[in-house]
Structure 1
Amino acid sequence: MRIVLFFSALLACLAAVAAPNDPATLDRSTWPEQLSSPALFDVASRAQILMFAHLLLVSEVLDEPALKKRLGLKQINMAAIDAVRHRMWQRLLTSYNAAQQSCEQDASFCFYVEDMDSLQKAAGKFRVADDSFYVRWAEPARAFNERYLDEQLRLAALLPQTSSEIQLMGDHERNGEAFNDRLFLLTFDGGPTMAQGNTDELADYLRKQKISGLFFVLGNALQARLDKTSMPAVRELYRQQCVGVEGWQYRSHSQWQDWEDSILRSVALVQNAVPDNYVALFRPPYGQRRADSAAFFKAQHLQVALWDIDSGDVTGKLSAEQSAQRVMTLMLLWRRGVIVFHDTQDKARTALPWLLKQTAESGLGWQDCKEAFR
């Protein structure tokens, strides 16, 4: 099996170098079934987990020079990559254990998995036969998972010089790993937009769906909205939703000399403008923050709220539907987590309704924004 994995790793390395560095997305129409029940969600989830696990295993065969070439980087942090791989394996085992609970209802992609060793054995042997009902999905799924894995390994490789959502820096930081199975939190970055913009439409849509989202606002954008409208109008905008802070400007808080003031000014403004909606959470732009910032956040009684599932909507490389399809595929993979959209992007207005429609009968739950990180 090691020989097979070696040649798979070599081919993946060559393909990755040749491929454009776009966010991974998967055409969900290649999957032959609708996710019209919890059991069918589990079937798609098991397939997604096993495909990703197979490619994760393949990547571990590569030595450091080969991995540098595959990721397109001159220097990589192998210790960080190994730590991220280890955490991924733990999450994959948790996800597969949950997904296999419905194997008596539908045995597709059910393998004997009871521990890490058996999961890795199943992943090593995993393939979709040429005559399989799911064969149209196999190659697009392989390409998606390979590219998504490279996205994550590249984030790990750049640590600690470039911080990101790939790593928690202490017990003051949170993501969706601790959520219950099938539970997701919708979050939105970069707003608010000006009146009657995307933020208004998204917040209104969520209220109609009886879902609470978590909106991370920029201080300067919120101040501009207040200046053009009024405090009562802003409170109506975020009615039944939650509001955290993203700093005063959308810029990295890892090297910015005034990063503390950026956060404090934003917190004060949000607490004054929408006190009933405020939650003591900071979302770092680009996921970048200082490694020595824990004392500041604890002193301010703030938590850092990261994400597990990036929609890729801000890159300009994906359409709204591609962004939604990416999110849906990652929901199948991780089975829980914090989803990030940007309410400054038109894509979220189309992607979110598509996503909710496609998963409406899948047995998923949407985390209450007030309870998410308590």
Structure 2
Amino acid sequence: MRRPGSLICLALLLCLCLPAPGHGQDILDAPGIRRMEARDNACAITFDDGPGKYTDALLDILKAHHVRATFFVLGGNAVRHRQTLLRMAAEGHEIANHSYDHPDFRHLSPERQRDEIERTEQVLRGLGITPRFFRPPYGLYDADTVRLAEQEHMVLALWSVDSQDWKYRKLSELEARVLPGKGEKAEGVFLFHDIHQTTVNAMGDVLDKLAADGCRFVTLGQWTEELSQRAAEPGAGGAGKTKQ
């Protein structure tokens, strides 16, 4: 399902979709993620918009399931929930940048986009956290967004499986969005939001069913690193020289 036919093709996709120092604008978007899947059912679970008042309960669930996730946090929420953020880092979760106030970046000047990214960057770095990824609010961006993320040494990263948990609040509805259909594999980059209590309440069951369907849970950073390692294998066309 959604996989290149050879390691050479995989290596070419790596060069197109993952960043190399000194090269052009890079995006890890949904089509790119889907083309690069089929890596032993690797599932990167990501959460946007927190941390919030339900995030600690979510961290309890993730800990009980031995799952490490990637959290795309808002700078404003990070200021209000510093201890939760420190707990995330201490428990091995990956923390990434999701802007400061969650605006639509397409409606912002380059200067305001930079401010949104850098303010969150400063909060995270003040806590000893260096984000590797930036996810624009709503998944919306323009050429300036991509350029600014690259200047901050971050990959602009979206998702391939959207729970739409802001819209669907029942467990059955979430599962219908994220569990693989007949003949499909459980894999990809999954989008959830830790600001919704219904999502947090459902995550234990969702993780159990994804695991039963074969998911091997990784952070987004691990997801991309595994792709780089596979592309570096003999016969991959030398793409192992590409660095993140």
TM-score band by shorter chain is: 0.7 to 0.9
Q: Which has the higher contact order (CA 8 A, sep 6+)?
A: 2
Using structure 1 for the length normalisation, give the TM-score: 0.49
1:363 is matched with 214
Letter in structure 1 aligned against 2:194:
D
List alignment gaps of at least 5 residues for structure 2.
Answer: 6-16, 19-23, 226-244
1:213 is matched with 69
- The question of 1:303 aligning with 2:159 is answered no
Contact 1:309 1:330 in 2 (8 A): no
Contact 2:94 2:219 in 1 (8 A): no
1:20 is matched with none
- The question of 1:248 aligning with 2:130 is answered no
Looking at structure 2, the residues matched to 187 and 270 of structure 1 have their Cα atoms a distance apart, in angstroms, of 17
SS of 1:279's equivalent in the other structure is coil
Looking at structure 2, the residues matched to 332 and 314 of structure 1 have their Cα atoms a distance apart, in angstroms, of 28
Give, in angstroms, the shift of residue 362 of structure 1: 3.0
What RMSD, in angstroms, separates the aligned Cα atoms of the two structures?
A: 2.7
Q: What does residue range 23-38 of structure 1 map to in structure 2 within 5 Å?
A: none
- The question of 1:172 aligning with 2:23 is answered no
Contact 1:182 1:365 in 2 (8 A): yes
2:46 is matched with 187
The alpha-carbon distance between structure 1 residues 280 and 237, as it changes in their structure 2 partners (threshold 3 A), is: closer
Letter in structure 1 aligned against 2:80:
A
Looking at structure 1, the residues matched to 48 and 219 of structure 2 have their Cα atoms a distance apart, in angstroms, of 17
Looking at structure 2, the residues matched to 339 and 235 of structure 1 have their Cα atoms a distance apart, in angstroms, of 23
Q: Identity of paired residues, percent?
A: 23
List alignment gaps of at least 5 residues for structure 1.
Answer: 1-48, 50-90, 98-167
SS of 1:216's equivalent in the other structure is strand
Greater Rg, structure 1 or structure 2?
1
- The question of 1:291 aligning with 2:146 is answered no
SS of 1:341's equivalent in the other structure is strand
1:269 is matched with 123
Contact 2:100 2:120 in 1 (8 A): yes
Contact 2:47 2:194 in 1 (8 A): yes
Contact 1:321 1:354 in 2 (8 A): no
Using structure 2 for the length normalisation, give the TM-score: 0.72
The alpha-carbon distance between structure 1 residues 171 and 371, as it changes in their structure 2 partners (threshold 3 A), is: farther
The alpha-carbon distance between structure 1 residues 352 and 326, as it changes in their structure 2 partners (threshold 3 A), is: same
Give, in angstroms, the shift of residue 324 of structure 1: 2.4
SS of 2:206's equivalent in the other structure is helix
Letter in structure 1 aligned against 2:43:
F
- Give the number of equivalent residue pairs: 201
Deviation string for 1:113-158 (max 9, x for gaps)? xxxxxxxxxxxxxxxxxxxxxxxxxxxxxxxxxxxxxxxxxxxxxx
Give, in angstroms, the shift of residue 330 of structure 1: 6.4
Looking at structure 1, the residues matched to 85 and 162 of structure 2 have their Cα atoms a distance apart, in angstroms, of 27
